[in-house]
Amino acid sequence: MSTSAVTALEVADEDFLIASLIERCPKAMMVRELMMNALEAAQHAPEGNRLVEISAMPMDGVDKLVIWNTGPGMDDNELLKICNIASSLGKEKSLTGNFGMGAKVASLPSNQRGMRYRSCKNGRVHEVILCKRDGVYGRLRRYDPETDTYVEVVDVSDLAEQDGRSLTFDWTEVVLLGNRPQQDTVRDPYDGDPEQDAQWLATYLYHRFYGLPEGVKVTLLKGTNKLDGNRQFEPIPARLRHFERYETVILSNGMKIHYLYDAQYNGTGHNRSISGAIASAVSTCGVVYKNELYDLSKGRQWTFDAPVFGVPFGAKHISIHIELPDNFPVVPEAYRQFLQYTGGEQLRLQAKDFEELVRENRPEWLIELIHSFAPDSQTSDQIRDELQRLLNQLRVRRVSPKVTAQGSTNVTPGTGPAASERSSGVAGGGGGESEPRSKPTDLAIVPAGAKRAEMFKNLERAPEIIPLHTDEEIDEKGLKGRAARYVMEAGQLFVNMKYPALAEMRAQLESEYAGAHDVELMRNLAQQHSQDSMILRVGRTVVYALAKQLNKEWDQKALEAASSPESLSMAADNFADAMQNVRRAIGKALRTSRAEVDAA
């Protein structure tokens, strides 16, 4: 008779629960889970024989992806057990560690025809096939004519030897059969959804695994990498010799920030680390936790996000990796696709959570390098100065309580909710007893000894104006079809100098002054005034939004909406009101020029 205080819950529809677990798993996690199993096993192999090999196995004329590793093997009973959901061998299951369902759950959606497991232990090789048949995921039952029975595990020792596998040491092999017989799982692991390029596998490994277990060697055999022959996989820290410069800043809490500069490669559009690489060499930003990369952004997405990390220019050559200590309060979510905080609402961790730390700890050499990538700007500081004067006029300076125009005012210490009493330790005038002193405790006031975060100091400064003139610069900042983008964290305003409103204004001015005596001067004036006018319009929009936030009329969300690229684009389009002032300035300049000609 059970003495338990509760009756354990049971699963009413086990097939549905298993199918739900499997089919909700992100497809891209398949390689991560298979590789993690292989790496964890290989690290327990004898030193010098810790191997993981990825190869292509022809089956009926079609290549199938194979992941093979040394390390402890499994006999028939262990292999049968390991194929169950939430089952693991030699690992302690926990909610913060191994869940015992990774590789199976992650791989079966893309391998419903089958994924073949083989494992060698004590000189014998056993095999099992996981698949989906008639809507049910499970182990494939195969008919044995010798015994007239169906079996789930078979001894394939002789077949393994014929395939060239040694039986003198333990190993495990997984073959991905895909969803159909003619699917090439080496080139097309997800059956076209999503499509992959020729170097997908190496690039995924490069952007997921930041380190390998001690002594483990990973090799991509011929046919599984974009180069010829067999190639060894090296994670990013093992390839630092190919980077121009790098530095790691270690913070007091054990966090590490890795700054990497990947110079241009021999005048090409590639980065220097592409030399000898089997994977993509684009710059990246991400969070490293226990040797894995999370929340990775790369390529165009990274160059768009980079300004908030203090990298407004040159992001295509600069990578930033934020490495968390093992005791950081995070845990991988169930499918290990991302990290989430363990406390509070258990929000998803993002690299942007650390943007201020990244900006504040940039090495001097990196700051100089970023400045060297800045585009040449012909815009004077006059516009920024004008915007700063406007911001100063609009904002209401915060004042301390009890301030008077002149002299001093004696007040009795208050007893309201914004003050508490404490002994001054100074004798008063009425008998030598200590009198209470007022100690402010207003939560709405920054306490003594604290200071504003750097990002909020930018609110009181007019934005730094950065005109973008080339298609590449405009595209990097996500401004194709948009006039400007304000990055509050960096206090920078990127302006698209190819925005159509600028050309429209210039064309209208050139048409109005087509009869000017000095046509070349007129065109130059039309161009310059059109540029300055558009920059001023979008800049004023940002300044008005900043003033609203500083005056506590708007919150952060309202500021972001008002200074969004879409809002700034509407301000740029509305150039009609600016035409009168521009006409006056151009007319004055042209008259002055004509007077100078007549005087000569």
Whole-number average pLDDT of the chain: 86
Q: Are 223 and 63 in contact (CB under 8 A)?
A: yes
Evaluate the omega torsion of the peptide bond into residue 46 and state whether it is cis, within 30 degrees of 0. no
Report the Cα 214 to chain-centroid distance in Å. Answer: 27
Catalogue the E-assigned strands of 46-100: 51-59, 62-70
Taking residues 465-490, what's their average pLDDT? 92
Which range is most confident: 90-99, 463-472, 565-574? Answer: 565-574
> What pLDDT does residue 456 have?
57
The ranges assigned to domains in the chain are: 14-220, 236-372, 382-391+453-599
pLDDT given for residue 410 in this prediction: 54
pLDDT at residue 98 is higher than 50: no
pLDDT, tens digit, 9 for 90 and up, residues 30-85: 999 999 999 999 999 999 999 999 999 999 999 999 999 999 999 999 999 888 76
Whether 369 shows a pLDDT value over 70: the answer reads: yes
Q: What does the pLDDT read at residue 538?
A: 95
Three-class DSSP category at 186: coil
pLDDT of 295 strictly over 90: yes
Within 10 angstroms of residue 102's Cβ, the number of other Cβ atoms is 21
CATH class entry, domain 14-220: alpha beta
| 14-220 shares its CATH topology with 236-372 | no
Q: Which pLDDT score, from 0 to 100, does residue 488 have?
A: 87
DSSP for residue 499: -
Instruction: Give the per-residue pLDDT at 40.
Output: 94
Length of the chain counted residue by residue:
600
Q: Which residue has the tokens 């959570």?
A: 353
Burial of 444 (0-12, 13-18, 19+ CB in 10 A): exposed
537, 574 contact by CB (below 8 A): yes
Question: What does the pLDDT read at residue 487?
Answer: 92
Percentage of residues in the chain having pLDDT higher than 70? 83
> Binning pLDDT at 50, 70 and 90, where does residue 402 land?
very low
pLDDT for residue 424 is more than 50? no
Contact 228, 222 (CB under 8 A): yes
pLDDT exceeds cutoff 50 at 400? no
pLDDT of 28 reads 84
CA angle, corner 25, sides to 33 and 110, nearest 5? Answer: 75
Please determine, for residue 279, whether its predicted confidence score (pLDDT) is greater than 70: yes
Mark residue 572 as left, alpha or beta (left: phi above 0; alpha: psi -120 to 50; beta: remaining): alpha
Q: Residue 128: which residues within 8 A CB-CB, separation 6 or more?
A: 79, 80, 83, 116, 117, 139, 140, 152, 153, 154
Phi, psi of 135 (to 5 degrees): 80, 5
Helices (H) and strands (E) in the chain, counts: 17, 23
Q: How confident is the model at residue 447 (pLDDT cuts 50, 70, 90)?
A: low
pLDDT of residue 280: 85
pLDDT of residue 404: 44
Per-residue model confidence (pLDDT) at position 552: 87
pLDDT at 385: 87
The answer on pLDDT for 454 being more than 60 is no
State the pLDDT confidence band at 507, using cuts at 50, 70 and 90.
very high
Lowest mean pLDDT among 6-20, 296-310, 383-397, 434-448: 434-448
* Cα-based torsion angle of the residue sequence 480, 482, 487, 491 in order, rounded to the nearest 10 degrees: 110
Which numeric CATH code is attached to 236-372?
3.30.230
Q: What span, in angstroms and rounded, lies between the C-alpha atoms of 208 and 195?
A: 19
DSSP state of 80: H
Name the E strands within 93-244: 115-121, 124-133, 136-139, 142-144, 149-151, 154-155, 171-176, 217-220, 231-232
Residue 125, beta-bridge partner list: 120
Predicted confidence at residue 448, as pLDDT, reads: 62
How confident is residue 1, by pLDDT bands cut at 50, 70 and 90? low
Q: What percentage of the chain reaches a pLDDT higher than 90?
A: 64
Residue 5 has pLDDT above 90, yes or no: no
d(CA 30, CA 156): 26
